[in-house]
Structure 1
């Protein structure tokens, strides 16, 4: 170990502990907007970065999406889409939840997720065990989203550690590469057993 502090395993959320977006959710939202899936998906993701990074509210995000689709941005439609969107990102992998919780016996465990602030609040309400982790960094609340180096530096400062004390786990290679660029160790997540072996070797 490079320092006297306990090592820190820093997890991504979606695609690692939580599941990716619920199948059929984008189709449901596209139908609500009376537009094609491809057109809706393009607008949905094109306006997402400032929402993820906490620079836009949910209302501003959905207003931008609806205007891009030439649809009226009334409060009722925005709220329906917002709640459907939150639900679509609400599923967890129970086996990974158990693994992450058990890992705290051997290391400090933290979370760094690209997630809007209102999504984060809903996720925490449904998964209160997350509050037992050593730190939670949600992009919509810290004002920086991966792969922005500021997101990783936030975790370093918040946990009063050095970058080398971290093993960052994410299913997206570009995010792992960004973590390594600020001095963290990195692992691209594919499966729990593979991750377990990598964590055991690192610890």
Structure 2
């Protein structure tokens, strides 16, 4: 990977740029819900897939979460618990975002995320929507990572080939799929590891800026 020749950086949102503090446990304790009950209900695979492929809207997804959680725990104040969970608590890892932007200043930054219909609202609230040249939201196109269609769609929008792009994601199944598709792929576990990955590759292909 030659940093100077990268045409696009495809980057995940959650776990890389946007961080979600784990507040569910304290909310469940407060409202007498079993540990893990909010996550297991909200992210039940079948329900979540409908939301991130655009088959249902974000509002419909949240309504389904409430309905399902209330059925499981009819004696608990699930409405208040979910309202507390819905309260904005995520934040941007500014250091990670700025570093990703600096990897190859001439490359397009393409957000590639499995998200609901509320994505742009969330990005505006975090004041980062203008940081991305292209936004690929799974709920708009009907394909999710690690489907190959989401990679081909992203590259088509960026007008570049797989070998001219770097993909960054915190889920190894997504980076494995991206690598098989022909992209340079980094499994994000920390900013330190990302910097190390870029440094090693940059050392192989020194540019005038190094």
TM-score for the superposition, normalised by structure 2:
0.76
Structure 1 segments unaligned to the other structure (5+ residues): none
Secondary structure in structure 2 of the residue aligned to 1:43? helix
Structure-1 residue corresponding to 2:194? 195
Structure-2 residue corresponding to 1:23? 22
Secondary structure in structure 2 of the residue aligned to 1:37? coil
Structure 2 segments unaligned to the other structure (5+ residues): 206-210
Give, in whole Å, the separation in 1 of the partners of 2:132 and 2:61.
30
Larger Cα-atom Rg: 2
Structure-1 residue corresponding to 2:43? 45
Structure-1 residue corresponding to 2:177? 178
TM-score for the superposition, normalised by structure 1:
0.78
Secondary structure in structure 1 of the residue aligned to 2:36? helix
Structure-1 residue corresponding to 2:146? 147
Cα drift, residue 190 of structure 1: 2.1
Deviates most, 59-68 or 187-196 = 59-68
1:133/1:38 CA distance change after superposition, 3 Å: closer
Cα drift, residue 26 of structure 1: 5.5
1:81/1:139 CA distance change after superposition, 3 Å: farther
Cα drift, residue 65 of structure 1: 2.2
Structure-2 residue corresponding to 1:100? 100
Structure-2 residue corresponding to 1:124? 123
1:79/1:50 CA distance change after superposition, 3 Å: farther
Residue pair 2:23, 2:85 contacting (<8 A) in 1 also:
no
- Give the total of aligned pairs: 194
C-alpha RMSD of the superposition: 3.1
1:123/1:64 CA distance change after superposition, 3 Å: closer
